[in-house]
Amino acid sequence: MKPKTLISVIMPCYNAGKYVGGAIESILGQSLQNFELIIINDGSKDNSHQEIFRYKDNRIKYIPFSKNIGNYPARNAGISIAEGKYICVMDADDIAYENRLQLQYDYLESNPRTGAIGGQGKIINNNGELTGKLTNPVVPFRQLQVLLLMNNFVAHPTFMIRASLVRKYQLRYDENYFYASDFDFISRCCTLFPVQNIDHELIQYRHHSQQISSKHHAMQVEYADRIRLSQLKFHNFELSNEEKRIYLQLMKRMAFSSKEELTEGLNLLNKLMKQNLRLRAFNQKFLFGFFDYVLAIAQEKMIVGNVS
């Protein structure tokens, strides 16, 4: 009898022929060998198909699309056929460290209350040269929930989630968010079950000009703003349109144009704290500390900008 697949690794690929071989080899060479690798060729126009086809391994499931359907629809296609106990995100231009799957599997097996995890990594360039670190806060879940109001502090390329929860909550990437749907996906996860970052380097994350985040930064910010506001709406916080503008300015750490506007920001944060006492959406202590940090940044930018 065939043993149950432990991990489904989902790897969309679009014009990543230069890198996809390295990504595939990094999964095939994992210390934990009970997995399936679902590769979705999302209508690539380069040599991705030929590169993928070089690998003959019965754990590889290959889905070639004749047309480009998009990153998040491709991920959803992978989720729909995943058979593993856990679902693991992998990008076609990244490199997984040899013990990535084992580390994440062991953590989730030992922490049954945790629904999903991310981790740390190193950043590499087009040539595979190390250029920096991919760091994410290793903090209690309720604190991470608050931090996600500002940004996605769970690196999506390091994400692993329980397949049982994906099925239970019918989780899919929202295809209406053409950019930043991973931020939305992880934010929604955090409303349903605990999510954690682990203090282990899991991947080499490749940063280059062809990535969505590099090519369409302005659009990504716009979609991320929608997600930031949708988080508040989900928890029934009430803001006027002007307060929404100020809130986004605070969350993006943008400078205010006047002391009066800074005061409006302070008043807004106090209003949100009072609403949270009633709604109990977030841990009040962590929310206070976070808002204090956000306000300190805004005040510092006022001083640096010498705005009167």
Interatomic CA distance for residues 93 and 126, integer angstroms: 9
Q: Are residues 297 and 185 in the same domain?
A: no
Taking alpha carbons only, the member of 29, 26, 271, 41 closest to residue 128 is 26
Of 209, 224, 243, which residue sits at a domain end?
Answer: 209
Q: Is 59 helix (H, G, I), strand (E, B) or coil?
A: coil
Interatomic CA distance for residues 151 and 155, integer angstroms: 10
Q: Are residues 178 and 99 in the same domain?
A: yes
Tokens encoding 116: 């999903």
Instruction: Give the CATH number for residue 169.
Output: 3.90.550.10
Is residue 1 a part of any domain in this protein? no
Task: Determine the structural domain holding residue 118 and report its residue range.
Answer: 7-209
Interatomic CA distance for residues 95 and 88, integer angstroms: 13
CB 36, CB 84: distance < 8 Å: yes
Q: Are residues 175 and 249 in the same domain?
A: no
Q: Which pLDDT value is given to residue 210?
A: 62
Is residue 2 a part of any domain in this protein? no
Domain count, the chain: 2
Please return the burial class of 304, using the count of CB atoms within 10 Å of its CB with bins 0-12, 13-18 and 19+.
exposed
Is residue 278 a part of any domain in this protein? yes
pLDDT tens-place string over residues 172-220: 999 999 889 999 999 999 999 999 999 999 999 999 766 655 567 888 8
pLDDT at 25 over 80: yes
The amino acid occupying position 295 is L
Q: Are residues 44 and 89 in the same domain?
A: yes
pTM, 2 dp: 0.94
Of 146, 175, 209, which residue sits at a domain end?
Answer: 209
Q: Which pLDDT value is given to residue 214?
A: 53
Q: Are residues 138 and 195 in the same domain?
A: yes
Q: How confident is the model at residue 247 (pLDDT cuts 50, 70, 90)?
A: very high
Interatomic CA distance for residues 149 and 291, integer angstroms: 10
Is residue 223 a part of any domain in this protein? no
Is residue 183 a part of any domain in this protein? yes
pLDDT at 95 over 90: yes
pLDDT at 276 over 80: yes
Work out the number of other CB atoms within 10 angstroms of the CB of residue 47: 14
Q: Which pLDDT value is given to residue 53?
A: 95
